[in-house]
Amino acid sequence: MSTLAQGKADLERASTAQKVADMLRERVLDGELEPGLRLSEEAIGGALGVSRNTLREAFRLLTRDRILVHEHSRGVFVRRPTGDDVRDLYAARRVIECGALRLWNDVSEAQREAVRSPVRQAVARAEKNDFSKTGTANIQFHRGIVGLAGSTRLSDESDRLFAELMLAFRVAREMDAFHQTYLPWNRRIVELLNNGTVEQAVVQLDEYFAAAEQDLVGRLSAD
């Protein structure tokens, strides 16, 4: 059954616009296309060998994911989050993730493991002084928390919030150090969860958000 579903995913080849959007998303999140950059329809369409109309469809898809912003008659730009954006972002994350974490005792073991495992791996790597994937590990931890809610819609929206946050990190030019700082926090949260003290874990998560928001907003408004 699962192999059939796999095959189906292969068969449902993405449209050209979808493929272009995926490629551009990767380029933006990798940092090749910096926040604030304008994406010319002609230049990018020519480089990728797709028509303007198809490219515009790809732009609309990425606008939906808040990777790009569209300004009428001016073009599309790589999103460049402001301090206000970050505040809004964290207000949303606080409600979503703290709410999801409170469901800890009502969910499946697999869902709980999706929260523990990223932290365990990050700790293991940190002990070997390997901080390469510390950024994605942090994201995985928080994706796991949102997953406790069991709603694909909520998880998808959170992914959009994470993507936007990645752009904010990039503007602040402190991606690695940032995530690294907050690993101890994640560790403590998992410990509290394992001890069965869910409410204390929620409090820790909330404090994490307060600290992270303040840190990031500070770096952004410093510019």
Interface positions with DNA (CB under 7 A):
15-17, 38-42, 49-54, 56-57, 70, 72-75
Residue with tokens 């994406």: 39
Q: Is 74 in the site for its own copies (CB under 8 A)?
A: no
Q: Is 145 in the site for its own copies (CB under 8 A)?
A: no
Distances from the Cα of 60 to the Cα of 18, 71, 75, 97, 214, angstroms: 10, 12, 11, 28, 32
Comparison of 64 and 70: residue with beta carbon closer to DNA: 70
Using CB distances below 5 to 8 A depending on partner kind, what does residue 40 bind out of its own copies, DNA, none?
DNA
Using CB distances below 5 to 8 A depending on partner kind, what does residue 174 bind out of its own copies, DNA, none?
none
Q: How many residues of this chain bind its own copies (CB under 8 A)?
A: 28
Q: Is 89 in the site for its own copies (CB under 8 A)?
A: yes
Instruction: Write down the least CB distance from residue 149 to its own copies, Å.
Output: 5
Structure token digits, residue 209: 């958000």
Answer for which of 61, 119, 167, 189 binds its own copies (CB under 8 A) is 61
Q: Is 80 in the site for its own copies (CB under 8 A)?
A: no
Rounded CA-CA distance 179/212 in Å is 9
Q: Is 92 in the site for its own copies (CB under 8 A)?
A: yes
